[in-house]
């Protein structure tokens, strides 16, 4: 019987040691999206090639160290693991393959104080970030991913009750867990009304300047319209120290404005957001986005985020007095590939299309593609 490893166990290994991963998917799938990290070395050899030529034909596969084998859903990698072990290699199969890795989440603290605990929930395969804000026994969740049970379990672990669930916008790269989380916890689900045309799910409309109180504390969560990535994108200011920026501004770029088919129009909205909102925010505010593009954006403290002043230094679109037309051109020529299945995902997030768990998982497969890379 060959050995196997879960996504959680793989993550734990990645935190503490160098890990070698053999991905046996097609080269195109591997090049598009793979497991990455500071301690990851990976190679791509298909199971069919291992069978035809034997693993010894591929010098990139080491015989003197542990090999984690992955594929799309764990089946081809199971066969590849057996082949490798039969040839004297130390191979371990990743249970569920890339699908399981896509659905793995973990939480890290951003702030831990007497009045506020702010947790960032990282979904490393998708580059998705969500947040749990805790104060005085109550919690607010921002941009929850599809597995809403994860947040319920996290709240139980922390001994708190979820009272509010917020989405910064109608997500296009992953299915939101916001509505289901609110239903299962009795919380209120909030999102901007303009994000949900003809929606068949219940929500409370976010309003500019709306303040949420968490528990009996003085913690403030203020809704600030930041249109551009979508017309109704909303960021949340926490105690004037932290900005949960959704897909408006990232550590390494800005949110892409093209997913509604109105790239130039929405790029101009993003420009107004930069001029009228972001330019008024002090340099010492910590930006906490809804996505990250690369594992190098994870700080030594374990979370993704940066002071706005640091982001401005690296991103001329936030730093320079750029004209509107030049800005619009800059953010519409660096878009890259669109998120896979984004049109269907938007319909699901508005309750206009129903999918089962397997269909939902398949829709979400692939990397984060919501950011416009900055130009220094």
187 and 117, same structural domain? yes
What's residue 58's pLDDT?
97
How many domains, the chain? Answer: 2
> Where residue 332 sits, what CATH number does that domain have?
3.60.15.10
205 and 107, same structural domain? yes
List the one residue out of 246, 219, 260 whose CA is nearest residue 113. 219
Q: Which long-range contacts (CB under 8 A, 24 or more apart) does 50-57 make?
A: 50/24, 50/80, 50/83, 50/84, 51/79, 51/83, 54/87, 55/83, 55/84, 55/87, 55/89, 56/87
State the pLDDT confidence band at 376, using cuts at 50, 70 and 90. Answer: very low
- Could you say which of 71, 128, 170, 370 is catalytic? 71
Mean pLDDT of the 68-78 span: 96
Whether 370 is a known active-site residue: answer no
Domain boundary pick from 72, 101, 130: 101
289 and 249, same structural domain? yes
Domain boundary pick from 80, 101, 122: 101
DSSP state letters, 55-117: GGG-TTS-SSSEEEEE-SSSSHHHHHHHHHHHTT-EEEEETTHHHHHHT--EEEEEEE-SS-E
187 and 94, same structural domain? no
285 and 227, same structural domain? yes
By residue range, what is the domain housing residue 56? Answer: 3-101
Res 2 pLDDT > 70: no
178 and 131, same structural domain? yes
116 and 209, same structural domain? yes
What's residue 375's pLDDT?
44
110 and 29, same structural domain? no
Question: 233-286: per-residue pLDDT in tens?
Answer: 999 999 889 999 999 999 988 888 887 778 888 889 999 999 889 999 999 999
Mean pLDDT of the 296-319 span: 92
Mean pLDDT of the 195-210 span: 94
Res 1 pLDDT > 60: no
> Where residue 40 sits, what CATH number does that domain have?
3.40.250.10
State the pLDDT confidence band at 223, using cuts at 50, 70 and 90. Answer: confident
Domain boundary pick from 52, 84, 101: 101
Res 193 pLDDT > 90: yes
């Amino acid at each position: 019987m060959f050995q196997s490893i879960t996504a959680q166990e793989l993550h734990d290994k990645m935190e503490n040691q160098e890990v070698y991963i053999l991905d046996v998917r097609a080269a195109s799938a591997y090049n598009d999206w793979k497991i990455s990290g500071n301690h990851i070395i990976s190679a791509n050899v298909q199971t069919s090639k291992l069978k035809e030529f034997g693993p010894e034909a591929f010098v990139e596969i080491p015989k003197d160290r542990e090999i984690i084998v992955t594929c799309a859903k764990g089946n081809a990698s199971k066969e590849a693991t057996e082949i490798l072990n039969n040839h004297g290699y130390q191979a371990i199969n990743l249970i569920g393959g890339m699908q399981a890795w896509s659905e793995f989440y973990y939480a890290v603290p951003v702030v831990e104080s007497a009045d506020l605990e702010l947790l960032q929930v990282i979904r490393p395969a998708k580059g998705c970030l969500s947040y749990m804000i805790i104060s005085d026994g109550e919690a607010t969740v921002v941009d929850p991913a599809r597995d809403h049970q994860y947040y319920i379990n996290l709240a139980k672990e922390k001994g708190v009750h979820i009272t509010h669930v917020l989405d910064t916008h109608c997500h296009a790269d992953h299915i939101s867990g916001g509505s289901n989380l609110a239903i299962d916890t009795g919380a209120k689900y909030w999102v901007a009304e303009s994000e949900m045309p003809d929606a068949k799910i219940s929500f409370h409309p976010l309003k500019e300047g709306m303040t949420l109180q968490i528990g009996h504390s003085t913690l403030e969560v203020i809704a600030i319209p930041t249109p551009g990535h979508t017309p109704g994108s909303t960021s949340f200011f926490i105690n004037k120290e932290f900005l949960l920026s959704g897909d408006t501004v990232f550590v390494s770029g800005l949110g892409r404005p093209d997913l509604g088919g109105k790239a130039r129009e929405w790029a101009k909205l993003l420009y107004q957001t930069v001029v009228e909102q972001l330019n008024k925010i002090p340099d010492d505010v910590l930006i906490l986005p809804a996505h990250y593009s690369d594992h190098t954006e994870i700080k030594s403290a374990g979370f993704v985020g940066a002071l706005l002043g640091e982001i401005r230094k690296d991103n001329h679109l936030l730093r320079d007095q750029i004209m509107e037309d030049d800005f619009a051109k800059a953010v519409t020529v660096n878009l890259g590939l669109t998120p896979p299945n984004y049109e269907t995902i938007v319909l699901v997030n508005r309750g206009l299309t129903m999918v089962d768990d397997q269909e939902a998982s398949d829709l979400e497969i692939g990397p984060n593609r919501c950011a416009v890379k900055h130009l220094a």
